[in-house]
């Protein structure tokens, strides 16, 4: 409008004299000033529709005042404005208002009679209707796109907020635990390291930015590991580790043991995507195990000397021809038991030494039923004393190549356990069968039973179930470990099946000698018993 007015002043100043033209300009000027002065808010914004309407009226007055200017073209602006802003009502309303104004003006200024002039009167509203419709649909389209974009932006925002809160939670959890956690990407580059590992690194003076301890020793505490031998380096190379023990720190200075485990991470496509490494401080556990082994080793070592002496003196007594038969029998029993005590103490020493835990063996062909009978008979008084019922089903003879003393040791252990862990007035079953390929000895009881979890650890050294530990029944937790080891050395297996509260069955399987019968048996069958 301002530009147009400037042109008119320069080119056709007589138009300024026309009152309609001036009224039009004044109306436009007032509307613009009012629009600028008002502070538009949500509440008064609907009044803004009056602005394009005033604009239409102003353009109409200018057009009527100076028809040569073709100011009707300017109608396009309020039409676009209203179709964008007021939707369908604005679209139709703006065009109808302009058409009515034009036609009313035409009627007042002597209605045109020629056909062409009439077409001219319709052309402008038609053009404006087209512009209004196109603007309306474009506006609607962009409005729906804007809404879609807003919704998507909200979704992204929410997802981002969720991801950040999850990351915060993950970091808090990782930093709350007292073991080190390190995550590496598929190229071995660090993605994450928690506070516990960071702290452990700084305690051992690792330089900043490094994720491994400066000095790493193997489980024996003396072999220094090279860079490639270190568990973390192996994990970076893609190896899965399960509780690898390392010692950090130089000998003579402060040292800590860590158990390093690693698991590969897989991406959504199932491909290798890195490693997560868990570093747990196990210094106390290892120190406790070492202290226990040292104690067992020293106690069993100290016990061997007096037992050797007892054995020696008993042998001297047995060699004496002057002792009566009754005393010889009693000294003989004491001698046999001292021998067993000596064997047990030796086993204890073996168990405590990490180097050679295998028990020594002397194999010979033997009738197993004799050993089983003997073991059962030696436990019978104890079973009767506790009111336990004994059921036996012992096949005889059952020939096997065994170390009879060791098998007796195993049977004694299983039978004493069956007595120790039985219920009041419970039952004990002992069976021995040879099916031609396998010899089976089963010792069952109706006692406490052993849970599935405990069964998995039952044959580990020093393991005792919690029920056993809390009870008044004494034990070392070594018997089953040594028994399993002895049976393994015989080429057999010791297995357990148990139901808590019902009872347990320990079954020994050994290779049978019935098929084929080796020569050695026929040669020595007379002396096996």
Assess contact for 486 and 478: CB atoms under 8 A.
no
Told to check if 419 binds ligand ADP by CB under 6 A, we report no
Binding part of the chain for ligand ADP, among 284-292, 320-328, 341-349, 464-472 by CB under 6 A, reads 464-472
Told to check if 464 binds ligand ADP by CB under 6 A, we report yes
Q: Is 216 helix (H, G, I), strand (E, B) or coil?
A: strand
Told to check if 485 binds ligand ADP by CB under 6 A, we report no
Told to check if 411 binds ligand ADP by CB under 6 A, we report no
Decide whether 112 or 429 has the Cβ nearer to ligand ADP: 429
Told to check if 479 binds ligand ADP by CB under 6 A, we report yes
Residues 266, 150: Cα–Cα separation, whole Å: 34
Residues 273, 260: Cα–Cα separation, whole Å: 19
Strand 256-266, strand 272-281: pairing: antiparallel
Which of 200, 421, 428, 485 is in the footprint of ligand ADP by CB under 6 A? 421
Residues 413, 263: Cα–Cα separation, whole Å: 40
Residues 433, 372: Cα–Cα separation, whole Å: 11
Residues 392, 461: Cα–Cα separation, whole Å: 30
Which of 504, 508, 510, 512 is in the footprint of ligand ADP by CB under 6 A? 504
Decide whether 404 or 447 has the Cβ nearer to ligand ADP: 447
Residues 211, 189: Cα–Cα separation, whole Å: 10
Q: Is 221 left (phi over 0), alpha (psi -120 to 50) or beta?
A: left
- The structure tokens 């190229």 sit at 187
Told to check if 447 binds ligand ADP by CB under 6 A, we report yes
Told to check if 477 binds ligand ADP by CB under 6 A, we report yes
Least distance in Å: CB of 449 to ligand ADP? 6
Decide whether 77 or 496 has the Cβ nearer to ligand ADP: 496
Told to check if 476 binds ligand ADP by CB under 6 A, we report yes
Least distance in Å: CB of 400 to ligand ADP? 23
- Give the sign of the dihedral formed by CA 229, CA 232, CA 236, CA 240: positive
The 298-317 site mask, x for binding ligand ADP (CB under 6 A), equals --------------------
Told to check if 182 binds ligand ADP by CB under 6 A, we report no
Residues 245, 250: Cα–Cα separation, whole Å: 16
Assess contact for 91 and 133: CB atoms under 8 A.
yes
Binding part of the chain for ligand ADP, among 28-36, 296-304, 462-470, 514-522 by CB under 6 A, reads 462-470
- Using CB under 6 A, list all residues that contact ligand ADP: 413, 417-418, 421, 445, 447-448, 450, 458, 463-465, 468, 475-481, 504
């Amino acid at each position: 409008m301002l530009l147009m007015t400037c042109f008119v002043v320069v080119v056709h100043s007589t138009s300024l004299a026309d009152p309609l033209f001036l009224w039009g300009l004044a109306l436009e000027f007032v509307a613009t000033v009012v629009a600028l002065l008002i502070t538009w808010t949500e509440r008064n914004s609907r009044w803004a529709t009056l602005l394009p309407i005033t604009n239409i009226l102003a353009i109409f007055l200018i057009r009527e005042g100076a028809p040569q200017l073709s100011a009707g073209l300017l109608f396009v602006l309020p039409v676009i404005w209203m179709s964008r802003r007021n939707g369908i009502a604005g679209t139709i309303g703006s065009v109808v208002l302009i058409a009515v104004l034009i036609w009313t003006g035409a009627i007042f200024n002597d209605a045109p009679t020629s056909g062409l002039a009439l077409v001219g009167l319709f052309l402008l509203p038609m053009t404006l209707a087209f512009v209004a419709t196109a603007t309306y649909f474009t506006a609607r389209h962009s409005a729906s796109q804007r809404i879609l974009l807003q919704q998507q932006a909200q979704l992204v925002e929410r997802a981002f907020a969720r991801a950040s809160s999850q990351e915060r939670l993950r970091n808090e959890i990782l930093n709350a635990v007292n073991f080190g956690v390190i995550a590496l990407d598929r190229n071995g580059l660090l993605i994450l390291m928690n506070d516990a590992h960071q702290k452990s690194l700084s305690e051992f003076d690792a330089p900043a930015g490094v994720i491994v301890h400066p000095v790493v020793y193997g489980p024996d505490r003396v072999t220094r590991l090279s860079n490639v031998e270190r568990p973390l380096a192996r994990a970076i190379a893609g190896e899965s580790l399960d509780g690898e023990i390392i010692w950090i720190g130089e000998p003579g200075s402060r040292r800590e043991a860590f158990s390093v485990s690693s698991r590969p991470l897989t991406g959504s496509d199932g491909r290798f995507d890195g490693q997560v490494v868990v570093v747990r401080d196990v210094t106390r556990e290892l120190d406790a195990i070492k202290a226990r082994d040292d104690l067992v080793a020293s106690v069993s070592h100290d016990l061997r000397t007096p037992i050797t002496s007892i054995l020696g003196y008993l042998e001297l007594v047995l060699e004496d021809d002057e002792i009566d038969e009754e005393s010889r029998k009693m000294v003989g029993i004491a001698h046999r038991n001292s021998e067993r005590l000596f064997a047990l103490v030796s086993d204890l020493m073996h168990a405590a030494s990490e180097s050679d835990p295998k028990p020594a063996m002397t194999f010979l062909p033997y009738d197993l039923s004799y050993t089983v009978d003997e073991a059962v008979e030696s436990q019978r008084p104890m079973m009767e004393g506790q009111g336990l019922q004994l059921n036996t089903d012992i096949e005889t003879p059952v020939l096997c190549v065994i170390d009879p003393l060791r098998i007796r040791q195993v049977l004694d252990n299983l039978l004493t356990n069956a007595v120790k862990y039985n219920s009041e007035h419970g039952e004990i079953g002992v069976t021995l069968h040879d099916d031609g390929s396998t010899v089976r000895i089963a010792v069952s009881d109706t006692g406490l039973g052993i849970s599935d979890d405990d069964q998995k650890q039952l044959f580990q050294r020093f393991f005792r179930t919690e029920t056993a530990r809390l009870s008044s029944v004494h034990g070392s937790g070594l018997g089953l470990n040594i028994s399993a080891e002895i049976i393994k050395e015989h080429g057999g297996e010791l297995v357990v099946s148990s139901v808590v509260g019902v009872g347990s069955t320990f079954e020994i399987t050994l290779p049978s000698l019935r098929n084929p019968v080796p020569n050695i048996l026929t040669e020595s069958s007379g002396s096996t018993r």
